[in-house]
Every structure is written in structure tokens, then in C-alpha cells.
Amino acid sequence: MVFSSLVFLCIFLPVVFLGHLLLPGIRAKNAMLLLASLAFYAYGEPIYVFMMIGSAFMNYLWALGVSRFRKKRKLLLGMAVSMNLALLLVFKYTGFLAETLNSLTGTSVPVPQIRLPIGISFFTFQAMSYVIDVYRGVNPPQRNFGKVLLYISFFPQLIAGPIVKYHDVELEIGKRKQTAERVAKGIRRFIAGLSKKVLIANVMALAADTLFGAEAGSIGMAAAWVGALSYLFQIYFDFSGYSDMAIGLGWMFGFHFKENFRYPYGASSIREFWRRWHISLSSWFQEYLYIPLGGNRKGRARTCINKFLVFLCTGIWHGANVTFLFWGIYHGFFLMLEEFIPWLRKKGGRVKQACMHVYTLLVVCIGFVFFRADTIGQGFLWVKNMFIGVSAGSSSLSLCLQQLTPLYLVTFAAACTASFPVCGKWKKRRGYETLAYVCSLAGLALCMLNLAGGTYNPFIYFRF
């Protein structure tokens, strides 16, 4: 089940929200949320829901063991981390590794066809962070398995993040309040995210998927740029839209999740971009990999190596494909470049800031071409077409113009505007709150009409 579906919007969410509102006592509310979250996951993954429960139970036991057996805590932590990484390896990378081995050695090792469980990258990292934090003494182990399972399986952040640390929600699992103001703002935030997904990301996705799925010879310069920019906006509004919906749902149920996106396309360096993009993943790698590796405490060369390793792992985390691996290495390269070229780090006047902004968007856009491409060859060919301008004839121009419908052009303009905090200066003005709620109702109506009409509604997280 996904947030942008009529089943979720018209049945699941109203029933669960009213149940949480009406049930007396925190235990009853937690039990209902836990059952609802498991049903939410089982709706799309009837078998893998047991795997998720088993993963949560094993991490629950590891955390208890790390806390109790002090002399063997390092060994137990290593075993816990190894188990979680092995789970990712089996489900995400077994087929890829078998194919790579066959291509390199000429062998014919059978390639297993293992279907990827939805959200496995997210809930596995949450479970790992819980055990590691118990080991570090950040929070004590939770004795109640139900609370640990609720933390890992809670449906707002289960399938697409943000990655939540246990100590951030520990108190709210045991005690929280639903206030009318917080619920109203949560509903508004949810609708804002839903609108990003349905009204912007889905329109961009139709153009991006059409062009990236076309014959390689039919993509000229114009089509390559339309496809690249469409995916640039698709992935941002899809991903940030889901994060907004998760944060809004959290508010509705009395939880507070941290922000996951802060207008990353307004960044003026790749370093700044990663401080604004998928913040929960960036902070996870910083806290549990970059700092343990030494961070920036062992000289510039070691700092660069640590950053490179982090982004290599970031690429691997996203999936079993050379394109993801290249994307991680690509961002790691530009981070090292900014580390060694002082001019790229220093602030300047408006002209320099504008140049740095263009540089950042260009690097990010090209990186996402490889991220979206089905093969590394397609990625390089696509970038070549963007800049060299190989003519693909009238068929390429026709394919490109077919995407530039009035709806696409209006949506593209809206995406450009919504990528920056244009409403910030209006928030303190009288009447802003009323106008925001009116716009939310209009946005919800448009989303429901779109979904009822069966418009294109891809689920991008199947790749992760």
C-alpha cells in the first residue's frame, strides 16, 4: 500500500486515525498502530512482513545482549551489524553479484530471482541504528518488544523514510498527545506532500520514463535535456513529497520526525546539497560510518578518503546496479574536489554564488542521469547527447515535443518555483494560515480527481 492510493486515503488512513483518536490509553493506541502498520506492510508484502518482524525481533535481542553482556558487547554488536548487512546482501545484491561473477569469469552461476522487499533499506538501517545506540549508551534497551516493533514498522516512515533514530521517538512511543492544532498542521503537511507526488512528480515521471525508455538512437539534445530535467524534478518531488507525508502523518498521531529535505536545489555546492538532500540518510552515514572512520580529525587526505567511502556506501545502499555505484563515486569525487579547491568552498558575491548554484545543479542533474539510467552505457550516452548534440532526426524532435504538453509546461514551471522557499516571507502575514488551508483543500481535491482518473502513478521506491 502506498500513500498516493485511494485505498490508503479513503479507507486505511481514516480508520486508523479515528481508531487512534478514540481508543483510551497509550497501550491501546500503540497496539492499534502496531497492528495497522503490519497490515499496511502486509497489504503489499504478505510474506515479507514476517521477515520484517523477524529482523526486528533479532535486533531487539541483540540490543538486550549488548546491554547485558558487557564483556562481549563488541562481539555482539559486530554480529548484529553483520546480520543486518547480510539481510541486505541476500535480498538486494545476490543476483547482481552472481551476474557480475558470470560476466567477469565466464562461469554460469545460477542467478537467483529474489524479489526485493519494499522498504528493506530503510527499516534495516533503523534497526541497526537502534542496536548501535544501545551499545554507545545513547539510549537504554527497550524491554518491550512491541515498542521496538512499532518503532521499526510504524507505517508513515516504513517504506520511504525518513530514517528515524529510536531515541528521537522513544518518549513519544510511551507518551504523546494529539492536539487539534498539531493534527490540522499534520493534515496540511500531508496534503502538501501528496500534491508534490501526484500533481508534480507523476507528471514529470511520465515524461522521464517515456524518454529514458525510448530507443537510444531516438534521443537528441533536446530530448536528453527534457528527460534529465524531468527526472531531476520527479525524484525530488516524489522523495520529498513522501517525506512531507510521513512528517504530516507523524504530527497527526503525535510523533515528531525530523526534516528530511531543505530545498536542496538551492544549494551552492555539492557539500551543501548533501546537507539538504535526504538528511536522515546523510546524517546516518555521518554518525555511524564517517565519524567512526575518523571523520575530519586525521588530516585532509584521510578526510577525503572517508568521504569517498561514505558516498561509495551511499551508492551501494541505493541498489544493486553499477549505475548506483557510479552515482555514489561521482558525488564522492566532487566532494573531494571541493575539499582540495578552496575557491569552491569560499563564499563570494552574487556573481560567484550564481555560478556556484549553476555548477551544483549541473553536477546534480548529470548525477541523476546515471542514477536513473538502466545501464551505465545508457547514462554515458545520455550525457553525451545532452552536450554534444548529436542529431537524431525528426523522430527525436517529435518525441520530445510530445512530452511538452500544456500540462507538462505548467507543472514544470510549478516545479521550478516550488524547488525554492518562495513562500517563506509570506508566512508571517495576516491571512496566510487561512489561505494555506484553502490551498490544501484545493490540492487534496485535485489529487483525488487525478487518482480516481487512473493517472500515471509510479512507485519509485521499488528500486531501493
The phi, psi pair for 214, rounded to 5°, reads -80, 165
At residue 353's C-alpha, the angle toward residues 352 and 354, to 5°, is 90
Grid cell of 46 as nine digits: 504478505
User: DSSP class of residue 12?
Assistant: I
Grid cell of 28 as nine digits: 491501546
Grid cell of 229 as nine digits: 530535467
Nearest by Cα to 175 from 365, 317, 26, 70: 26
Per DSSP, the three-state class of 323 is helix
CB 158 within 8 A of CB 41: yes
357 flagged as catalytic: no
Which is the catalytic residue, given 256, 318, 331, 357? 318
User: DSSP class of residue 299?
Assistant: -
Q: How far apart are the first and last CA of the chain?
A: 16
DSSP string, 365-399: HHHHHHHH-SSHHHHHHHHHHHHH----HHHHHHH
- 109's enclosing H/E stretch is none
**Helix pair angle (145-153, 26-44), 10° resolution:** 50
Burial of 396 (0-12, 13-18, 19+ CB in 10 A): buried
Residue 400 has, within 13 A of its CA and on its CB side, a CA count of: 19
CB 317 within 8 A of CB 288: no
Q: For residues 425 and 36, what is the distance between their CA atoms, to the nearest angstrom?
A: 39
Q: For residues 170 and 330, what is the distance between their CA atoms, to the nearest angstrom?
A: 37
Catalytic site positions: 318
